[in-house]
Amino acid sequence: MLTDIKTIDMIFKMEISDKRTSVLNEIVRYIFKTKSENKIPKLNFICTHNSRRSQFCQFWATFFSKYYNTKCEAFSGGTVETKVNKSVMNNIRNYGFDISFKESNNPIYSIKFKNQNLGNYFSKLYHHFENPKSGFAAIMTCSDAENDCPLIKGSEVKFSLQYEDPKQYDSTKFQKNEYKKTSEKIASEMNYLFKKLKIKNE
C-alpha cells in the first residue's frame, strides 16, 4: 500500500542506469522549459497496442505528477487500438488503487486513490481526440512504434524510453511477477522524473 513518500521510495527503488537517467533528465528539462513558458507540459506515451507499457507509463506519470504537484498532463496511445490488458489493472489495484470499469470490447478503466481521480484508461490511437494534437512530447515506449512512427504529427519533441514487453509472459507462471517488474521499473523512473522536477521547481 502506498501511504507516504518513504513507502513509495522503498517500493519503487529499482536502480536506474546512467543511459536511462540521461533520457529522463532530458524529459525533465523539456517539462521545465514548457512550464517556464507558462504552458502545461503534455506527455504522450506511445507503443503499438496501447495495452501494457504505455498504459503503465500514463498511469504512473499521472500519479507522480499529482503526488508531487507538478501540474503535468500524461496521455497514452498506440498505432493500433486493442484493449488494456487485465494484468496491468490487476497490478495497479494491488498497490491500493480503486479501479472501476465499463465492460466492452475495449473497457474503460477509471482509477482513484484516496478519492483523487487519476483518470480513465483505455486503448486508443495516439492521435485519438482525447489526446493532445499539438504542443506535446511523444515518448516512445516500444521499438515497433518508434520504427513505425519516425515522426509524430503535432509533437514538439520525441524521446525514446523503451521497456521490455511483459506480453511474452502471458499465460505462463511468470506472468504476475513480470508485470510487477515492468510496472515497478516504470514507476521507479516516473518517481525519479517527477521528484526531480519538483526539486528543480523549488
Are the CB atoms for 191 and 6 separated by under 8 Å? no
pLDDT digits (tens, 9 = 90+) for 55-112: 999 999 999 999 999 999 999 999 999 999 999 999 999 998 999 998 899 999 999 9
Write down how long the chain is: 202
**Residue 199 scores a pLDDT above 80:** no
Helix (H, G, I), strand (E, B) or coil at 138: strand
Report the predicted TM-score, pTM, of the whole model to 2 decimal places. Answer: 0.93
Dihedral of CA 67/93/138/131: which sign?
Answer: negative
By C-alpha distance, which of 110, 19, 11 is closest to 62? Answer: 110
202 vs 194: CA distance, rounded Å: 12
- pLDDT value at residue 12: 77
What's the mean pLDDT in 21-48?
96
Domain ranges, ordered by start, for the chain:
17-201
According to DSSP, the β-strands at 155-160 and 136-140 are parallel
What's the mean pLDDT in 168-191?
96
Place of cell 521490455: 164
Distances (CA, A) of 130 to 77, 165, 174: 10, 25, 34
Q: Could you name the CATH architecture of 17-201?
A: 3-Layer(aba) Sandwich (3.40)
